[in-house]
Amino acid sequence: MPTDTALEPTAAPPPAVHPAGREVIYRHTLAVRLTHWINVVAVSLLLMSGLQIFNAHPRLYWGAFGADADKPWLEMAALNPDAAKPVGVLRVAGQQFRTTGVLGVSAAADGSPDVLGFPRWATLPSGRDLATGRRWHFFLAWLFVTNGLAYLIFGLVNGHFRRDLAPAARELRPRHIFTSIVDHIRLKHPVGEEAKRFNILQKFAYLAVVFLILPLMVLTGLTMSPGVDAAVPWLLNLFGGRQSARSLHFITANLIVLFVIVHLVEVVIAGAVNEIRSMITGRYVIRTGNGS
Amino acid sequence: MSPLAFSRRGLIGAASAGFGGLILAGCDRLATAPPLTKFIGSAEGLTYRAQRLLLAGQPLAREFSARDISPVFKSNGTHMPDSDVYQLWLKNSFADWRLAVGGMVRQPLTLSLADLRAMPSRTQITRHDCVEGWSAIGQWQGIPLAHILAVADILPAARFAVFYCADDLDASLDGSGQYYESIDLIDAFHPQTILAFALNGKPLDAAHGAPLRLRVERQLGYKQAKYLMRIALVSRLDAIKGGKGGYWEDRGYEWYAGI
């Protein structure tokens, strides 16, 4: 551990080799680091303002339309909204779960039970304020899309996608993928040359988020806009109607949360200090295998 | 586990919860602070310009078939205006009701329901999207606003059409609770922008805005003003009521509701 902190990387690329079996490499370019942290802020606040908007009608449907009289596939509600102690429930695909305190019913600002989809601590702003939630959401959406486009352009121009994310042919062999899965389960992390690049599961995860999940988030969001629907009607065909797009927007947001959880767990397992530092300064310490 | 470890963990938990709460409360104050919400709200101008660019060719909102109509068309906001005059109108099927068209026009109009029904009408099955997130599909029949604006002969300086309604959504003495809405002339002259008098083949009922409501497809539900009484052509919105161009706009919602 002391060697870790004693080692202050000062050298820019090319990498410096250290005698203690450690090597400092320049892992993340400024463009990746900058867009990453802007994305962290944008996605976190988009999620919270998105939950605020969801709370205005905490029911999800499939198809073009859906309102109170139509059947939702997901719903957060109170069993007895007017009672002193209402019971909060989540109904999804015909199943009902009691979720008092978190979903359906949670504490208001004064601590009394409030009928609300997601709890106030999860929304931006907290409590019911759809107008402010929408303002934040659409401001952040512009920030998110601008930042995402900058990332895509940098990634294409400076070779980030080709060099760091595109899987090599040998990495796509089932045996290699299987080995990587086993390594992940055993929490075993590569050392030496192998640690200089993303492993195949990491590449798959990042590629899926960058080229599938996040674009899907933007497109399903745009499909909820009646203005965009008139200009780009094929979006409605692609997602099966506005209410389907709203459902997919919600599901995709959940996938992003799932990715972030796994991502953070992996950061901790792989060494939080080294990982976070590499995303701030760009420099990443790898064990070359012949030292510690 | 020793009691000491437990209490220490509890202490850390309580401290971090308190700290988290503090951050949340701070964020919240920041999130709703007027200068910041104003800056954040500037994105609305960006959205408006982007959508005006996307919609430059005045494309139509999707029209559906009769099979796609919602079994129940949800009614929102006011379900029954409680003013005496509205009750009187309702009692005699709106025979005494008139729509006034004025402001920056050469030919002010006063139109009865019979006058309106005698005008050319358009029928469209469209999707109504509430700002809350739900949608309903219904068939609307009404007079294209473009036709009425042509008859009223609007002045070149007119830029917005303002719609005054018969419902007070917020009971008030000064009239600030009266529902009103406004749209620009790009939307006003769009072929699907109609003053609807029928929903799903029947005259509008009180819950859905009888006798006449605005349909401005391509925007959200709160723009679809119900219980129309008066249309005024104006050059600016800031001198009207709260100055933001609509009941919900005066309460923090976007004037341009295409998203």
Mean pLDDT of A82-109: 95
Residues of B in contact with A65 (CB under 8 A): 68, 70, 127, 134-137
Whether B122 shows a pLDDT value over 70: the answer reads: yes
- List A157's β-bridge partners, or say none: none
- Which of A190 and A153 is assigned the larger pLDDT? A153
pTM for this entry: 0.90
- Cβ contact A229–B62 (<8 Å): yes
Q: What is the pLDDT of residue B37?
A: 83
Q: How confident is the model at residue A14 (pLDDT cuts 50, 70, 90)?
A: low
Instruction: Read off the pLDDT of residues B185-235 as tens digits, 9 standing for 90 and up.
Output: 999 999 999 999 999 999 999 999 999 999 999 999 999 999 999 999 999
Chain position carrying tokens 């486009």: A149
Is residue B16 over pLDDT 60?
A: no
- Check whether B114 has a pLDDT greater than 60: yes
E-only strand ranges, chain B: 99-103, 109-111, 122-129, 135-144, 160-168, 178-184, 194-199, 202-203, 213-215, 228-234
Q: pLDDT tier at A165 (50, 70, 90 boundaries)?
A: very high
Nearest C-alpha in B relative to A222: B259
Q: How far is CA B162 from CA A30, A178, B136, B150, B182, in A?
A: 51, 65, 25, 16, 4
Q: Which residue has the higher pLDDT, B255 or B22?
A: B255
Flag if B59 and A225 touch (Cβ within 8 Å). Answer: no
Q: What are phi and psi of B207, to 5 degrees?
A: -65, -30
Contact call for A226 and B28, based on CB within 8 A: no
- B110: distance to nearest CA of chain A, Å? 32
Residue A3 predicted with pLDDT over 60: no
pLDDT tens for each residue of A54-73: 999 999 999 999 999 999 99
Report the chain B residue with the minimal C-alpha distance to residue A232. Answer: B54
B61 at A interface, C-beta within 8 A: yes
Q: Do A70 and B70 touch (CB under 8 A)?
A: yes
Q: Do A226 and B218 touch (CB under 8 A)?
A: yes
State percent of chain B over pLDDT 70.
90
Task: Please report, for chain B, the start and end positions of each structural domain, with discontinuous segments joined by +.
Answer: 61-251
> Of the candidates B62, B137, B259, which has its C-beta nearest A138's C-beta?
B259
In angstroms, the separation between the Cα of residue B230 and the nearest Cα of chain A is: 26
Strands B202-203 and B213-215 come out as: unpaired
Q: Residue B145 pLDDT > 50, yes or no?
A: yes
Residue B171 pLDDT class (50, 70, 90 cuts): confident
B residues 114-143 lying closer than 8 A (beta carbon) to A: 127, 129-137
The contacts of residue B222 (CB under 8 Å, 6+ apart) are B77, B130, B131, B181, B246, B247, B248, B253, B257
Give the model confidence (pLDDT) of B62-111 as tens digits.
999 999 999 999 999 999 998 999 999 999 999 999 999 999 999 999 99
Cα–Cα distance for residue pair A248/A222, rounded to 1 Å: 12
**CATH architecture, domain B61-251:** Alpha-Beta Complex (3.90)
